[in-house]
Amino acid sequence: MSALIDKVKKLAVGFDEQTLKSIEIEPLIIEAGAVHGVAPYLREKGYRHVIVAADAITYEIAGKEIETAAKALGISAHGTIIKPDRQGDVIADEASIVQLLLDIQQQGTEVVVAAGSGTIHDISRYAAYTARIPFVSVPTAPSVDGFNSKGAPIIIRGEKKTIAAIGPAAIFADLEILTAAPARMIAAGFGDMLGKYTSLLDWSFGAAEGGEPYSEQVAEITRLALDKCMEHVEAIARRDQEGIRILIEALIESGLAMLMLGQSHSASGSEHHLSHYWEMEYIRLGRRQLLHGAKVGVACAEISKLYHRLAAEEAGLSFAANPVKVREAIAALPEEQTIRSWLRAAGGPSTTEELGVDAELLARSLREAHHVRPNRYTLLRAYNMK
């Protein structure tokens, strides 16, 4: 078993066998050249009809090679290049999902290999789940923590919904490919990790005051992954194999924590709701999409700013049942400016201006973003509903 899963399992005290079994991903390979293991894996598993799902760019980076290698082993492999929308973005919407589903049906596909970043994974995850076949993860950038999650955030008629689907049967994370990913995508993965500062705060608050389910172990696994990232900001910023290994491991660990809980609380709080709100607005306006993690990182700074402001005001937290405890939690949350400086160090946008989100949208999202996930209790929700 992978050392990473082993480590997570050791922290998962009190979880039943079935849950521990559910986070097993075999194999989970994180090394240079991992992509060469995909075709032999497919043959070993006895798959004869395989689809490699990618976008035009990730097909060139990894998809084509996997398809060629699979064919050389006698596997009928088909590359599905997901088409971009009118703005030129590949998004996980109904059109992309149906495009892949049609190919799956026509090819008699037994497994989908997702060769790409988060969006290709979400499309593949949901299409494979719908077709009742497994999918294999080949991330091409360390840009999100959703590679190994079960939930597929998809866009239906312009609305973002997270639908329970399946996690990958195997992961091949090739450090050569990941290290060569665009700097902005690496910075986005770092931003998605930074978002755990606020998601973990929102989660402990939601559990204490809003009846949300909670697991100290899942929170701890996420916190350790975040801490490891923060101890290696410089290596991540250098984008060498050591830094990229730390980042992708942290992202996968955060994904494993979500798998264990069966929900995304540990990794997705009000900063994600802000990010999703901006995303839906951009779709409505027909604007080019921003990277998920780039939005999450900046949103984390904005949420930190708001929470610290509330904590500083005499009656700022009077809506909370236990304002003393909430104030304590906020005191441990990095300040807005600290978060922005980390984002800058990693080479990503650190402000809404740099991101391209205007002041009106920011203000509106801070008032309304909790509606994106109406059944999740966060500090932002409690504040807005007071």
Q: List interacting residues with Zn ion (CB under 5 A).
A: 192
- Note whether 223 and 196 are within 8 A (CB): yes
79 vs 168, beta carbon nearer Zn ion: 168
245 vs 295, beta carbon nearer Zn ion: 295
Longest C-alpha distance within the chain, in Å? 70
118 vs 316, beta carbon nearer Zn ion: 118
103 vs 192, beta carbon nearer Zn ion: 192
Q: Of 377, 359, 382, 369, whose CA–CA distance to 274 is shortest?
A: 369
- The token duo for 120 is 């290709």
Give me the least distance between CB of 108 and Zn ion, in Å please.
34
Place of tokens 């236990």: 322
By beta-carbon distance, which residue lies closest to Zn ion? 192
79 vs 269, beta carbon nearer Zn ion: 269
SS3 80: strand
Give me the least distance between CB of 283 and Zn ion, in Å please.
17
- Note whether 151 and 162 are within 8 A (CB): yes
- Note whether 12 and 20 are within 8 A (CB): yes
174 vs 192, beta carbon nearer Zn ion: 192
Q: Of 247, 243, 212, whose CA–CA distance to 142 is shortest?
A: 247
- The token duo for 45 is 């598993």
Q: What is the torsional sign of CA 248, 249, 250, 252? A: positive
Peptide bond into 142 cis (omega under 30): no
Report how far apart, in Å, the C-alpha atoms of 380 and of each of 39, 312, 348 are: 46, 16, 25
93 vs 192, beta carbon nearer Zn ion: 192
Give me the least distance between CB of 145 and Zn ion, in Å please.
6
Give me the least distance between CB of 103 and Zn ion, in Å please.
27
Cα radius of gyration (the chain): 20
173 vs 193, beta carbon nearer Zn ion: 193
* CA–CA distance, 288 with 187 (Å, rounded to integer): 18
Cα 143 vs. chain centroid, distance in angstroms?
8
- The token duo for 222 is 């996420």
Give the dihedral of Cα atoms 106, 108, 113, 118; nearest 10 deg.
50
Q: Of 129, 140, 126, whose CA–CA distance to 185 is shortest?
A: 140
96 vs 199, beta carbon nearer Zn ion: 199
Give me the least distance between CB of 318 and Zn ion, in Å please.
31
Give me the least distance between CB of 98 and Zn ion, in Å please.
25
- The token duo for 182 is 């665009």
* CA–CA distance, 52 with 38 (Å, rounded to integer): 11
